[in-house]
Amino acid sequence: MSQYQRLLDLLTLDQVDKLRFKGGSMDIGSPQVYGGQVLAQSLQAADRTVTDDRVLHSLHGYFLSPGNMEKDIIYEVESLKDGRSFNTRRVKAMQDERVIFIMASSYHIQEEGYSHQTPMPNVSQPESLSSVPEIFSQLAEKLQIKPKGIYSKDSPIVFHPVEHYDPFNPKIQPARSHAWFKVNGTLPIEQRFRQSLLAYASDFNLLMTSLFPHAVSLYTTPMRIASLDHAMWFHRPIIEDDWMLYVVESPTAHGATGFCTGKIYSRKGVLLCSITQEGLIRKL
């Protein structure tokens, strides 16, 4: 089974009862459950309790404890509001009665209104760039590391970074990154699955961008890095099954935390969603 199909299966949660769901985890090479997976699964749990005429427009989540790869995750959904225009849900992700993540999500009826957006940056096209597995394979061979997750050729999401960044020999550079990405297969037709896949991909490379001005990485400096909170706003439907551009900036880092913002554009330059995240970047 390909990793992409495995990811789609993980997002298809088992229903325990009306407002409780269960999901497993996929090893991407990190010691704990990947935050983007918990985010995407929480979103799928909330989606299952909302009628089809409502469209997700925002989510806000907090990572409370690292997840155990070997245990299932239970997602409990609470219905906070079912209004004429908006629905609101709260989700708790738990392992052994311990809450590891909480999320609130909001759904809106489809309406017409004013529309504008920030233009997409002019960057190199994805076909002219190397993939993360291609970049990492040379380093992995030297260090005798077996690539997993996004670093493997079978990654569920394929990333083509625009800027060169060597985590084993980092240089001082602006706190800004651009990366093209797409699913390693066919994008599902359902809009809610597409949004969940964007949520899954959105946790990649956000916090690392806050380290760029300091010429450090996990491979050169003892530190602890962890996502603390994560928010997304979905502006427009995801139409094309094509490359998308992830633009990330870190306006500030202070007090052992880094703050990052992100924008995801379609290849045609349509702003699909915006992201913010603050995370722990603690020197040990």
| Residues marked as catalytic | 203, 227, 277
| Under 8 Å between Cβ of 226 and 31 | no
Which tokens belong to 157? Answer: 């999401």
- Extended strands (E) in the chain: 14-17, 20-23, 54-63, 73-82, 86-95, 98-109, 157-161, 176-183, 223-234, 244-254, 257-266, 271-283
93: how many CB neighbours lie within 10 A of its CB? 27
Edge-to-edge strand order for the sheet containing 54-63? 14-17, 20-23, 73-82, 86-95, 98-109, 54-63, 223-234, 271-283, 257-266, 244-254, 176-183, 157-161
Which of 219, 240, 133, 131 is closest to 179 using CA atoms?
Answer: 131
C-alpha Rg value of the chain to the nearest Å: 18
Handedness of CA 106, 107, 112, 116 (dihedral sign): positive
